[in-house]
Chain A
Amino acid sequence: MRLVRALDRRRWVLTGAVVVSIILIAGALIVFAGADPLLGLQGLVDGVSSSPYRIGEVLVGAVPIGIVALTLIPALRAGVFSVGAEGQIVVGAIFATAAVFAVNRMLDGGAPALLLWVAGFVAGAVGGGLMALLPAFLTVRWRVNEILSTLLLNYLAAGFLGWTLRTWLATDAETATPQSDELPDAASLPSLIPGTRAHWGVLLVVVLAVVFLVWQRSAASTRLSVFASRPKLALRLGATRSRTVYSTMLVSGLGAGVVGWIQVAGVNDRLLSSVSGGVGFSGIAVALLGALAPIGIVAAALFFSALSAGAVGMQSATGTVPSSIAEVIKGVLLMGVACIAAYQRQPAAVVAPAEPVVADAPDGPDAPGPIATAEAEEARA
């Protein structure tokens, strides 16, 4: 008991240390840029909250990150590290754009809004899902490292998008950047809060958060956690490797694909080459930041989006601080949270050492792969 309490105290100290070091690093970066940190802070707050429009922008930015992060919960819980959201968003966006134009053309430009939304949503989900099933197949069938396969597929998706915007979906109009034609008016997601760009996708985040709150308590969720640490036990509970990898990666792919549609229909009204814009990577960071808990993820997504919006405000207020300061803070924050999470994990490792105890025995899902465990058992037999 005393041990647990001591660890708890250290956790609070560590959390404090992370917060203080982030503030210090941010302050140092602002001073290094030759600006006044207080003025910078003022600009940050203004950039986020000075008008309803700006609050709306924070919501608009949080929607794609939130959806990607929420739908990554099962995969990350099972220890399946898919970093392919970026490419899945891109393919989802391409499919959605193509579907909206196709449906609209079939009905001679008079397609009702609901039909266009359903077409975009479904096509986006299919695109993202297909893009996720490929690395899932490679992982299950030939044990191709899913981190690397999804990373490489992101580049292929970017190439496909570039080609798409130059050829079959390119607009005929003269534009500075490659883009598609503007979507028909009926296809755009209506705004949720008048006077802002905040669209109905905000509600989708709320719905998904509730769904995952309920799902979290299900047996399926627990099975995934077991799969991450004790694959053999999970097998007895009915979670085979292939079923786990396929289902969790499919969920994240569907989510990312829908994000592709939302970015096209809700924000840009057309397909742009910047459609994914780092949202996929932010989504992973936010999922980890929110400790894979839906409420935490929604809060972290809002925070990430606010940080980006606030950094732009800081740039215009100080005139010298580049808005890329937001990316630095996000990276530091992610590392800090990983350190705090490590302390959370330790009591369990103290109570039940599963592997032979070494001075720095690795714990958690990253340690023994299924094969390594099987091999060890073979050796013991």
Chain B
Amino acid sequence: MSVELWVAIIAGALALAAPLVLAGIGEGFVERAGRINLGIEGMMIMGALTGVWAGSLAGPLAGLVAGLLVGLVLAVVMNLLVYRLHANEIVIGLGITMLGLGLSTYLYQLWVPSGQTNVAVATVPRVDLGPLSELPVVGPILFGQSPLVYLAVVLLVVAWAVMRFTRFGLAVRAVGTDPASAALRGVRVERTGASALLIGGALAGLGGAVITVGTIGSFTPDITAGRGYIVLAVVIMGRSRPIGIALGALLFAFLQSFALLSQSTSLQLPSELYQSLPYLVTLVVLVITSRSQMRRLFKTVRPA
């Protein structure tokens, strides 16, 4: 395989990783607070649809904001049901996902009845980095990306700093580790968990909008294709740490990009294998990280 192909694969991987990283940062907060959001898939796809809709009315930036807001609204609903009414968060999460997948299909079919051509919107414009993007190899990979990729990187650093240096980050970690002690020390357990969930929902909605408004420019039902679940796997693999999340997302996105671009080359393997590879490797890495986490846990439990 030629150098150009590898450059295209890696550049494509960064673009594919951006939505996973964004949603993953949010889910990182949720899981550090000791919760899990199984509604990410539903939040992402609703963000993807509203992103295109608002994008067609007022441009890509409005699309991104609308996606973020829809994710936020769904997270508010989830928070209400799980924290106030004490419903099981796994069931509510699955319910949000069912609702999101169904509602996005329903609204899309009303918006674009079958037989009509799909609505396409302008994607977020690329910033011109001049000579930097003309550098060989590094240029297209690092400097030819959509601004949303850079946004994901910036948010990654912000999330790391918030978690590490702020009062809120400390509260999230305390609540996730030991809610009873945190409450005794004056941390508002419920409010901290709710804030984490709202951040998670907003970033999941934004991640969904990034898929459509960022790269593709249009919506089709089930466009997220399980990315919400991949985000959950990536966050667990990365132990909710920003760096871990970024690496996990990059691994999945790299294999996906590889599957998309290398089918034409002469490796003589069935295309289904390429398409399954990201899921297979994610599963393998999940097993490896679970294994090492288990060992570490047992070491701390039995200090003999």
Contacts and interface: CB of A to CB of B under 8 A. Distances in A.
Q: Main SS of chain A's interface residues?
A: helix
Q: Which of B189, B279, B280 has the most CB of A within 10 A?
A: B279
Contacts of A109: none
B276 A148 contact: no
Contact of A163 (B103, B236, B273): B273
A371 interface: yes
Interface stretch (B21-29, B82-90, B119-127, B165-173): B82-90
A149 interface: yes
A317 B194 CA distance: 43
A322 B105 contact: yes
A155 B276 contact: yes
Report whether over half of chain B's contact residues are helix, strand or loop; otherwise say mixed.
Answer: helix
B115 interface: no
Contacts of A334: 91, 94-95, 98
A330 B232 CA distance: 23
Contacts of B273: 159, 163
Given A152-B286, A335-B99, A366 B106 contact: no
Contacts of B226: 151, 155
Contacts of B270: 163, 166-167
Interface stretch (A110-118, A229-237, A251-259, A336-344): A336-344
Interface in B60-113: 81, 83, 85-92, 94-103, 105-106, 109-110
Given A148-B232, A155-B279, A358-B179, A281 B287 contact: no
Contacts of A356: 180
Interface in A330-366: 330-332, 334-335, 338-339, 341-343, 345-346, 355-356, 358-364, 366
A330 B280 contact: no
B110 A152 contact: no
B96 A331 contact: yes
B283 to A, nearest CB: 4
Contacts of B103: 327-328, 331
B110 A33 contact: yes
A356 to B, nearest CB: 4
Interface in A126-172: 138, 142-145, 147-149, 151-153, 155-156, 159-160, 162-163, 166-167
Nearest to B42: A331
Contacts of B95: 285, 331-332, 334-335, 338
Given A81-B90, A143-B290, A358 B180 contact: yes
A324 B190 contact: no
Interface string B171-214: 00000000110010000011001000000000000000000000
Given A166-B272, A322-B105, A334-B95, A341 B88 contact: yes
A366 B88 contact: yes
A343 B87 CA distance: 8
A338 B105 contact: no
Contact of B86 (A155, A346, A355): A346
Interface string A201-230: 000000000000000000000000000000
Interface residues of B, number: 57
A358 B98 contact: no
A259 to B, nearest CB: 19
Contact of B106 (A147, A155, A325, A363): A325
Nearest to B275: A159
Nearest to B300: A375
Given A156-B276, A345-B86, 7 more contacts: A148-B236, A152-B229, A324-B102, A338-B87, A359-B190, A360-B179, A374-B301
25 contacts: A14-B85, A32-B110, A143-B294, A144-B290, A145-B286, A151-B226, A152-B229, A153-B283, A155-B226, A156-B276, A156-B283, A288-B91, A322-B110, A324-B105, A328-B102, A328-B103, A331-B42, A331-B100, A334-B95, A338-B81, A338-B88, A341-B88, A355-B180, A363-B86, A378-B301
Interface of B: 38, 42, 81, 83, 85-92, 94-103, 105-106, 109-110, 179-180, 183, 189-190, 193, 221, 226, 229, 232-233, 236, 270, 272-273, 275-276, 279-280, 282-283, 286-287, 290-291, 293-294, 297, 300-302
